[in-house]
Amino acid sequence: MLFPTIEFGIFFLVVFAASWAVRDMPELRKLFLLGASYFFYGWWDWRFLGLLFLSTLINYLAGLALERTEHVGFRKFIVGVAVVAGLSILGFFKYYGFFLTSLSVLLESVGLSRDLPFMQVILPVGISFFTFQGISYVVDIYRGHVRAERSLTNVMLYISFFPQLVAGPIVRAADFLPQLHRPVRLTRAHIGVGVVLILSGLLKKMFVANYLATELVDPVFFDPTVVGALDLLIGVYGYAIQIYCDFSGYSDIAIGVAALLGYRFLENFDQPYRAASLQDFWRRWHISLSTWLRDYLYVPLGGNRHGEVKTYRNLFLTMFLGGIWHGAAWTFVFWGAFHGSMLAVERYARRQIEFFAPAETAPGGLMTALGNGAQHLVGIVWTFHLVCFAWIFFRADSFATAGSYLAGLVRWGETSQYVTPFLVWLIVIAMIFQFTPRHLGRWLAKGVQHLPAPLLGLLLGGGIWLIWAIAPEGVAPFIYFQF
């Protein structure tokens, strides 16, 4: 059940009405939302409901066991077992085929061909997301950030709550579980935030992302050898916008739907293409994943506490594993390794600059302000192009395709086939929205929250009507569903 479909619209209407109708019975409400979430997940493939439950049960039991013991060694053992169990499930479903294919190629290259136990493994939707949420739950209990839940229903709802179940944002136990213990509320602010986010998410996904995908990105990446440099350049800019609108659109709808049900998720995107450095980019892009990787991987590896060389190693390893998390393909591995390496290079360069040319602390004149502005602008352009370079590998189905793509960027003599005013306009408008005031959404939500019901209905109905009218036919799946 995809968000921008009539099925989901009907499902949400029922869940919204019924869940608020039983708001005076919190336990019943949670059970109802849990049932709705399992129904939502089972809509894709009911066979994986057992897997979702098993993953939750392992983390629930680990949490209870952690609460009952104070022996440090045993606590570490429990966390280890829970994390290994979660990662084993994820590893089997996501990387089994990739591992065997890579092993087979390796063995063949050294003349040791073997019959390997290949089998068709279906990837359960959202497995990467619910596995990470489960790990976050157990580790947070271990670290004392959150207490173990005695109620299995609460843990099940935390892991399977339908707005974030299949493609995030990755919700932390410390953020969500306390909300299950408070009386649930629906305020004007919830309505304002929910309506604005749902409409903006639908517009981003159904209009911008779908047009760019079908009319520019898919054809250009299908065979980069038959198009010229201009098409390839606009193609990768288009993909940068498409993946942003696709994924942040999904996150917006998820956060908006959760708000209308009375829950608060944290922000997942913050105008990432206005970042003036890669470090800044990762503070703005898929924030729930980058903070997850920081807290559960980078910090346990040692973070920046053990000298410069180990900091570079930790940055690289964190992003490298982040790349593998995205998908079982060498192109994702390269994407992660590239980001990790560039983050290390950027940190090294920044430290050298700070050493040889320390920043002026005293307020400067006009020339200083102009210089800083120009430096910031160069940083934005440079970061955007670094990210775009990495997107080529992220989007390409193989290294060969990515190589053809890069090689084609020198073919400036060929006539453009895909660069139309409409597509350029879409990219430009989407880029402009990266530089609008940060509180634009807040202002809109504040305006919407005071509308009377008829005007709110007109806004919601009119907004969806307009998006349906201008969006291309059909609903393409969200990019992050495959992860």
Partner 1 sequence: MLDLLHEIEREFAGHPEEEVSEAERLAVVETRRSFRRMLQALALATVLLLFFSSERLVTWVNGFEVGSVQDAIVSVSTDWHSLMADAGFTMPAETVRAELDELHGADWAELRRRIERERARTRDGVRFLRGAVPDSKS
Within 260-289, which residues bind partner 1 (CB under 8 A)?
260, 262, 264-267
350, 462, 477, 482: which one contacts partner 1 (CB under 8 A)? 462
Q: Name the one range near partner 1 by CB under 8 A: 4-12, 35-43, 222-230, 304-312.
A: 4-12
CA distance 268 to 352: 32
CA distance 242 to 427: 9
Residue 415 Cβ vs partner 1, minimum distance, rounded to whole Å: 12
71 is catalytic: no
Any idea what DSSP says for residue 144?
Answer: T
CA distance 242 to 204: 9
Residue 440 Cβ vs partner 1, minimum distance, rounded to whole Å: 8
62, 141, 254, 255: which one contacts partner 1 (CB under 8 A)? 255
CA distance 159 to 13: 22
52 vs 471 by CB, closer to partner 1: 471
Q: Map tokens 């290079």 to a residue.
A: 345
61 binds partner 1 (CB under 8 A): no
Count of CB atoms situated within 10 Å of the CB of 301: 17
Q: Are 164 and 171 in contact (CB under 8 A)?
A: yes
Residue 191 Cβ vs partner 1, minimum distance, rounded to whole Å: 5
Catalytic residue, chosen from 326, 339, 385, 439, is: 326
458: Cβ contacts below 8 Å, ≥ 6 apart: none
251 vs 331 by CB, closer to partner 1: 251
Any idea what DSSP says for residue 125?
Answer: T
- With CB under 8 A, what is the number of residues at the site for partner 1? 58
For residue 285, give the H/E element and its range.
Answer: none
Q: Which amino acid is at 451?
A: L
13, 349, 407, 428: which one contacts partner 1 (CB under 8 A)? 13
415 binds partner 1 (CB under 8 A): no
CA distance 281 to 272: 5
22 binds partner 1 (CB under 8 A): no
Q: Map tokens 């089972």 to a residue.
A: 42
Binding mask 179-198 for partner 1 (x = CB under 8 A): ----xxxxxxxxxxx-xxx-
Which residues lie near partner 1 (CB under 8 A)? 5-7, 9, 13, 16-17, 20, 23, 183-193, 195-197, 255, 259-260, 262, 264-267, 420-422, 439, 441-442, 444-446, 449, 452-454, 456-462, 464-466, 468-470, 473
